[in-house]
Structure 1
Amino acid sequence: MSEIAVIKCGGSIIDNLSARFFENIQQLQQNGIKPIVVHGGGPAIKNMLEKLDVPFAFIDGLRTTSAAAMDVVEMVLSGHVNNAITRKMSAAGIRGAGFSGSDANLLTCVPKDFQTYGYVGDIVDVNAAFLESLLEQHIVPVVAPIAVGKDGDRYNVNADTAAGNIAKAMNADKLIFVTDVPGIMQDGGLVPSATEVQIEELIDKGIIHGGMVPKVKAALACLNDDLQDVMIADANQAISAAGFTGTMINQSEEAVSHDSNFSNL
């Protein structure tokens, strides 16, 4: 059975994905690994909300999403970012197909706290069978983090969390958060691996801060017996024979490896 790798692209790097990133996707496929790409789009959403003068705020790191803001979120994620990625895939010779999480009930959710956040959801189900059918056809699904509620409304969901949910539902062998930094940095150097306890210490000390906090927390949340390591890596680095190099987030002290590469990529 082929391995599955879920790759989450941060919104800050979408416009700067180099040819190297798409070569890496091809390399995964050539090595018998089936990629699923989940993307964000925070900076582009913020710019469009401001351009259209649609009010929003951040509460506990989550963007409040009114009905008007949800229209903008969907327009940017599904209409711009998702299409931009799939176009680049096609140009690189990859069979990519873009989807909103609301397509085919790919992602279903419940409101996180409607009074506080508006149309922000927590995922409760992933249509794994739909994704499996695409992978069997050697198609790379590119998923925008929009979910549908039982009420039929659209909801904005955190892309890191969406990637983790998809990885769990698909029993993925690998989950890679690709960003614009090599991984978790400390004193100018790369932290090759870290456990939950170590990560909490780094957060408390302020070494892990800003947008890296939800990434590492999403990584920790999806660790289980089948997925014991999650990687945070630079999107545009080359995949070596040993695999992506970055920070490996491990389930326990025993799981820490001195080798921070994903092997067999």
Structure 2
Amino acid sequence: MQDVIVLKCGGSIINVLSTEFFANILTLQQAGYKPVIVHGGGPAIKEMLDTLKIETEFIDGLRKTTEPVMDVAEMVLNGSVNNELLRKFNQAGIQAIGLSGSDAMTLTAVSKNIERYGLVGEITDVNVPLLHHLIAASIVPVIAPIALGENGTRYNVNADTVAGAVAEALSAEQLIFVTDVPGILKEGKLLEEISEQEIKHLIETGTIYGGMIPKVKAALKSLNEQLREVMIVDGKHSVIKADMKLKGTVITKSMEVVK
């Protein structure tokens, strides 16, 4: 959909997003863009798991999700985190509505690998007509990364993966990962632009690791003729303006090869 911008707000950045960030989303709307928000909530989930003394582990940058972990993830993401963002959007004069996968089947998923990751899902479908309806009414969807599968099975889905799937499904013009790091770093230096081949090389050499892996993989999967580049920006310092000139790492689908 023309002029759709998908912004993924990482869980570690939500509490420190400035009022200017939300004011800029309003500016984007007024400039004719159609923002869609996907959010994470890792730190808040960890805090609740620690409080409840529920053990968890990360595998390949993903939180292994048992039934007790799923209960906490659903409660935190659909509850406190989503509502905190909604309050800030509404304060800024932006009509926003919170959604999870179970709301009108916004997100449908299957198991990524039940034995390895537990209830971690891969998105198979996005309710595009619902999102188009909201966008057309100038309502900003704020999507929590919980999805539904067969027989009502709940899945915890990496928010980066959800953002990529939503951007792809909506044929978005831009996908921006708003995070707590400047972008992709190599030997302490910011890589302002990086290609698909370079990303694969940096994953193999361990320069890209942990939670950055699902982020860049989601970015690459979402690239297409409409969406030519994806950005990773620092939400504490980057200002989202209508000209979309941001400081961070631009990911492209060029075929450069690192030697």
CA distance in 2, matches of 1:210, 1:61: 5
Equivalences for residues 57-136 of structure 1 within 5 A: 57-136=57-136
Higher RCO structure (Cα 8 Å, ≥6 apart)? 2
Pairs aligned (count) = 254
Q: Deviations over 1:102-151 (max 9, x none)?
A: 21000011112223322211111000000000001100000000000111
Match for residue 251 of structure 1 among 230, 238, 253: 253
CA distance in 2 between counterparts of 1:120 and 1:9 reads: 19
The residue type paired with residue 140 of structure 1 is V
Counterpart residue type for residue 230 of structure 1: V
RMSD: 1.6
Which runs of 5 or more residues in structure 2 are unaligned? none
Q: Deviations over 1:22-75 (max 9, x none)?
A: 122112112111000000011111111111012222222221212221110011
In the superposition, the TM-score normalised over structure 2's length comes to 0.92
Alignment of 1:1-265 (within 5 A): 2-236=2-236, 237-240=238-241, 242-243=243-244, 244-253=246-255
Q: Tell me the secondary structure at the aligned position of residue 105 of structure 1.
A: coil
SS, match of residue 249 in structure 2: strand
What per-residue deviation string (whole Å, max 9, x for no partner) do you get for residues 1-39 of structure 1? 741000001111111111121122112112111000000
Q: In structure 2, how many angstroms separate the alpha carbons of the residues matched to 1:126 and 1:104?
A: 10
CA contact (8 A) 1:2 1:32 kept: no
Structure 1 residue runs of 5 or longer lacking an equivalent are: 255-265
Q: Give, in whole Å, the separation in 2 of the partners of 1:241 and 1:227.
A: 17
TM-score normalized by structure 1?
0.90
Alpha carbons 2:28, 2:242 under 8 Å: kept: no
